[in-house]
Amino acid sequence: MTFTTTYTVPIADINYGGHLGNDRPLALFNEARVQLLKSLGYTEIDIGGGRGIIMVESGVRYLKEVFHNDLLQIEVAVSELAEKKFVLDYQIARLPAQEPVLAGFTVFLGFDYEKRAVARLPQSFSEALRIFQSDVP
């Protein structure tokens, strides 16, 4: 299953080359991730059990230029889920043509912000991701 949201590119995302700045895809990933977590009843700092998540790795593939006022569709999918970590994959397309413009991933660990240490993902959170991942109602 994928979570889908849209994003209209503001002028602040455009660099001196006249297209999306190379740092902006992570902000797009972040926005989509925050919305996905909210749809599941969580936030990045509260996934239950006094835990949050922390990003430990990311990657971006730039496929096409993106311009001011482009309407983008961002799709997020869970591609890996383990005891302490999960991976989200992103596909971004320009609408209305569904033209792929960006792709990427982010890797997260469960994190206890009070102890400042990696922690297991709470079972309820893992189960919510597993259900989302498998598209089981």
CATH fold label, 3-134:
Thiol Ester Dehydrase; Chain A (3.10.129)
Beta bridge partners of 89: 77, 105
Q: Is residue 111 packed enough to be buried (19+ CB in 10 Å), middle (13-18) or exposed (0-12)?
A: buried
* Ranges of H-type helices in 1-122: 24-39
pTM given for the model? 0.94
Which residues of the chain, if any, have pLDDT below 50? Answer: 136-137
Query: How far is residue 78's CA from residue 1's CA, in Å, rounded to a whole number?
Result: 8
Strand partners, 102: 62, 92
Task: Give the model's pLDDT for residue 135.
Answer: 67
pLDDT at 23: 95
Distance of CA 48 to the CA centre of its chain: 19
